[in-house]
Amino acid sequence: MNEQIKQLAEQASVSSLWMSGTDQQGNPILEKFAQLIVRECLTICQYNTDDDDDQFDLGRVHQAKEITQLIKIHFGVEP
C-alpha cells in the first residue's frame, strides 16, 4: 500500500512478514488485511455522511467528510 502501512508493520513487529512478498512489494495477505482495515474505517465515515438532509447534524456530516478525505490521503487510497 503506502509508506504509512509499512511503518505500522514495523511498529507491530511484522515488517519481516510484510517484506516476505515477491520482489519486496510486500506480503499480499498482510497488504490485503491493511487495505480492509482502512476501507472499514472509510465505510464508518461514509455511514456518518449519509445524513445530509438532517440540518441539525450538518457539522457532524462535514467533519465525517473531512475525516474520510484525510484517511484517504494518509493511506494513499484512491477516491
Could you tell me the residue ranges of all domains in the chain? 3-75
| Cβ atoms of residues 54 and 48 within 8 Å | no
Over residues 36-67, the pLDDT tens digits come to 888 888 888 877 666 555 555 777 778 888 88
Q: What is the pTM of this model?
A: 0.64
Rounded to whole angstroms, how far apart are CA atoms 79 and 73?
A: 9
pLDDT band at 14 (very low <50, low <70, confident <90, very high): confident
Q: What is the model's pLDDT at position 64? A: 83
H-assigned helices in the chain: 3-11, 15-18, 28-47, 58-75
Residue 13 in 3-state DSSP?
coil
